[in-house]
Amino acid sequence: MSTTATRTGLLSGRYALATIGMVAIVGVAAFQNLAMTTIMPVISRDLDGEALYALAFAAPLAAGVPGMVLAGNWTDRAGGRVVAWVSALLFAVGTAVVMLAPTMEVFLVGRLVEGFGAGAIDVVLYVLVARIFPAELHGPVFAGFAAAWVVPALIGPAIAGIVTDTWNWHWVFAGALVIAVGAFTVLVPTLGRLQAPAVELRPPWQRVRIGWSVAAAVSILLLNVAPDLTPWGMGAAVLVGLVGTWFALRPLLPAGTFRAAAGLPSVVLLRGLVAASFFGSEAYVPFLLQAQHGLSASAAGLALTVAALSWAASSWMHGRLGEQRLTARRTFGVGLALVLVSLLAALAVATLDLSWWVLVAGWFVGGAGMGAIYPRTSMLTLRFSGEGDDGFASSALTIADAAGSVIGLAVTGLLFTATGGADGTVSFPLVFAAMICFAALAVAAVRRLGPVPAPVSSASADRAAG
């Protein structure tokens, strides 16, 4: 079975529809992400919401945390088909609200609903990988997820910029909604394979964890609204948000995550720190190119395009090289070095007023680093979890991903607003300098990884079961 799976690959008979459907869903998320980052400076000006700029990115990620926890628990109980349908419906409703938003407040409500659905369906995708594909195909699957960013990277920022410049940004989300419906339609036949476990094997509803996930989302959002408050209010919001986030995330992640315990905890922590450093910065890359270098929305999206392309190429290479030639520590070491290069390039452009091409080139390098790190953390998460708790492990990884991104955005939003925003002389440099610190912490987390178990092939699993 293992040999057959490896020879026939992801597009063989039993895996083809699942692969195409999941890659299509990831492609929709890629288009939405790249389009949003490209045109958000325009949206913030149109809706008079520059003070809420970072919150527009943070809101869906924060809302995704309870979505992920609920989806992980619900999938372990019900198999995942109903979870996917509910998640897709919420995503579609949220996107429609964003598309029609007349004010920044309504826009943010739509982003919250959209994010809840997106977070839930992310968990379903990970569970599909764990339960449908053999272990030797996990690497190629995650490389396929990265490859799904190629077409959106080539055309997404340009289309979003052109549509916005020609008509308005509302039409960008209308197009995203149409694409999302088509992508989910392709995935529907595969969802029937996520069968519910026997009644005696179903875990109980984890109401406490779900409650903590809501508390985490509220705490993280509180950090992101802090820049819009008075100085005293900002201080109180930051303090309460930090304490609340710390306590709320602890029960949602594997024990020992915050001390980088060996195994799954260190993998989850690494994912969160890398997400914070890269995505906390990326929201300000088009902003810097438009505000200080006068680029249009479509031209500023070039940095996102080249990063997505290098991310996909790096993930493909990661899947081709295999674990014998590319160990986990080597993968993470090279990947983090490339991410640090991209952040240093952004800092240099913001500080020394270098050519905008330096930033674009740096972001290309950073995308390659992320393309190596992300599939390996995904593979190790499934490796360190068992079939009975793959829903929890997958939700933990996606929670760390989302929470890290939102915390990074909260830090950059606070620094950016407190130092004068786009008109401040040190605002952009402080954003990138702070994210370099998060990347440095990620380097420390890699040192705590511990031994990595070898993959268990499907053939070995069959022999053990027999």
Q: Give the model's pLDDT for residue 454.
A: 66
- The CA-CA-CA angle for residues 19, 23, 28, to 5°, reads 155
Distance CA 421, CA 335 (A): 31
DSSP 8-state secondary structure symbol assigned to residue 23? H
Q: Give the model's pLDDT for residue 439.
A: 94
Q: Give the model's pLDDT for residue 423.
A: 77
Q: Give the model's pLDDT for residue 8.
A: 52
> Per-residue DSSP letters for 228-245?
GS-HHHHHHHHHHHHHHH
Burial of 341: CB neighbours in 10 Å, binned 0-12, 13-18, 19+: middle
- Residue 168, phi-psi category: left (phi > 0), alpha (psi -120 to 50), beta (remainder): beta
Q: Which residues contact 380 (CB under 8 A, 6 or more apart)?
A: 264, 267, 328, 452
Per-residue pLDDT of the chain (466 residues; tens, 9 = 90+): 343 444 456 776 677 777 888 888 888 888 887 788 778 888 888 888 776 777 788 788 888 889 888 888 888 787 777 888 888 899 999 999 999 999 888 999 999 999 999 888 888 887 778 777 777 777 788 777 877 877 777 777 778 888 888 888 889 888 888 888 888 888 888 777 777 666 776 778 888 888 999 998 899 888 878 777 777 888 888 889 889 989 999 888 988 999 888 888 999 999 999 999 999 998 899 889 988 888 877 677 788 888 888 988 898 887 777 666 778 888 999 999 999 999 999 999 999 989 999 999 999 999 999 999 998 998 888 788 765 566 677 778 888 988 898 889 888 888 888 888 777 788 899 999 999 999 999 998 998 887 776 665 544 433 333 3
The b/e string for 274-296 (b: 16+ C-beta within 10 A; e otherwise) is bbbbbbbbbbbbbbbbbbeeebe
